Chain A
Amino acid sequence: MGNYPTRAAGSGRLRDTQPEVADDMANTLTLQCGVTLHLQPVKRMVLQNILAEFGDVGALMNNPALLRHLTGGQQMKALAATEKLFTYCAGWGVANEPPADSDEELLGVLSGGSDGPHVRRANWIRYVLVSGQGEMGELIGAVMALSFQEETAVDEKEQRIRELEAQLDSMKNGAVADTAVSFNASQDMPE
């Protein structure tokens, strides 16, 4: 993420503490500026699509140090994906509205001509509330955790993985055993 102009709301005095996430896995995040954001889950499919834009996620997950050795093109790709991830999590994953006296002109310009409420909210959080990349990351993490952990979300995710596994196992151009068993699964899935 770049060096965005940030200023704290409220007193403007920054605290040295990390943002506070309530214990109940919850749906609030208190920023260093003192503002408490009310979080809400976002669509997991959209999150997954943005995450996939990071490129070789598998290699990075196994060895985060690789981040330091990304080529220029890979860094740009990861940067763009990070921007999208923050905009989505802050714009769609936060319920707070920018206050009535917020700098409308500033938010309008920063929205790049988009009058959408989500992008305005994301810009308000990005340029007015958060105090740095660490806090931006905290917000992304909190919204993602909420989105993937709401009620049966984990079960659904695992189910989705099982479905994809079944889909791919039966469709891939890999080897299959020469037995009738291989062809008798009665699931409604592509081979």
Chain B
Amino acid sequence: MIYTYTTQAGIRLAIGRIPRQSIDQFLADHPQPEPPTKTVMAWGDVEEHVPVWDDPEYRMEMQAYYLQIGREQFDLITPALTILPGREPDADLVEMQAAGIAGSSPADTLRYGVLVEDGDVTAVVAEVFYRSTVTQRGIDEAAAGYAATWMDKPVLASKLPELPAEYAQSYRDRVAARFCGYTWNGFCDLAGPEQSACVAFYLIEQRLGWLASKLK
């Protein structure tokens, strides 16, 4: 099924998918700046290092980071997008290309001529990601379809005990892939919603197992 999106300027786009590995690589290549920390004394005279989110230098770094990633994400999503016949990018794009502001690459066509409103960029990027990798939207949709409840509440609404363990979401996805019987490459070949459904299944099973263990 082809999904189409119409921009605020009336340009129609067909949205497909990109390899999940491209997204993983993109995110790995663009680590988010870390905030500075300050030491505070917590209860029991224990020293804690807490992040300073409003540090001016950090905020400037974050602005620059979003500026950079906002531009480079076009290179990532371009292979998934096709401009459909109908309304074309306007004359501004042609002039910007002539003036050297915009290049002639497909990514620059999107950057300067098609996705020039904030709302369009956000919507299209979200859709490409939804179709390509595990997303919260995909997990929510799959979980709603499974309709798994525990005491009349959705199983995923139940909290697991907070553990000191931390891991990347790609690790969680790999565990879910193995849990569902896929190789990693086989899992990545699935469309985004199927990957998300696999993860939702794994998360529900994980919680059901834990909830059932409490009954013993």
Contact = CB atoms under 8 A, between A and B. Distances in A.
B57 A175 contact: no
A133 interface: no
Contact of A83 (B100, B112, B126, B134): B100
Interface string B81-104: 000000000011011101111000
A61 B157 CA distance: 43
Interface in A129-177: 156-157, 159-161, 163-165, 167-168, 170-177
Contact of A58 (B33, B166, B207): B33
Contacts of A191: 129, 133-136, 139, 169
Contact of A173 (B57, B125, B168): B168
Contact of B122 (A49, A163, A176, A183): A163
Q: Is the interface of A mostly helix, strand, loop or mixed?
A: helix
A173 B169 contact: yes
Contacts of A161: 62-63, 66
Contacts of A62: 57, 60-61
Contacts, number: 178
B162 A177 contact: yes
A75 B148 CA distance: 59
Contacts of B61: 58, 62
Contact of B101 (A87, A170, A174): A87
A95 B62 CA distance: 33
Contacts of B98: 111-114, 116, 119
A33 B207 CA distance: 73
Interface residues of A, number: 63
Contact of A168 (B32, B92, B101): B32
6 contacts: A173-B24, A174-B32, A178-B160, A178-B165, A180-B207, A183-B156
B186 interface: no
Q: Which of B61, B96, B126, B156 has the most A CB atoms < 10 Å from its CB?
A: B96
Interface of B: 23-24, 27-28, 31-33, 57, 60-72, 91-92, 94-96, 98-101, 111-112, 115-118, 121-122, 125-126, 129-130, 133-137, 139-140, 156-160, 162-163, 165-170, 172, 203, 207
Contact of A167 (B65, B125, B139): B125
B169 to A, nearest CB: 6
B126 A190 contact: yes
Given A58-B61, A190-B126, A190-B135, A122 B99 contact: yes
Interface stretch (A3-11, A38-46, A98-106): A38-46
Given A91-B99, A190-B125, A176 B166 contact: yes
Contacts of B170: 173
Nearest to A186: B140
A188 interface: yes
A191 to B, nearest CB: 5
Q: Which of A52, A61, A80, A87 has the most B CB atoms < 10 Å from its CB?
A: A52
A190 B96 CA distance: 32
Q: Which of B64, B112, B116 has the most A CB atoms < 10 Å from its CB?
A: B64
Contacts of A189: 126, 135-137
A172 B27 contact: yes
A51 interface: yes
A51 B166 contact: no
Given A84-B100, A112-B98, A116-B98, A164 B33 contact: no
Contacts of B160: 178-180
Contacts of B23: 171
A184 interface: yes
A61 B67 CA distance: 12
Contacts of B99: 84, 87, 91, 112, 114, 116, 118-119, 122
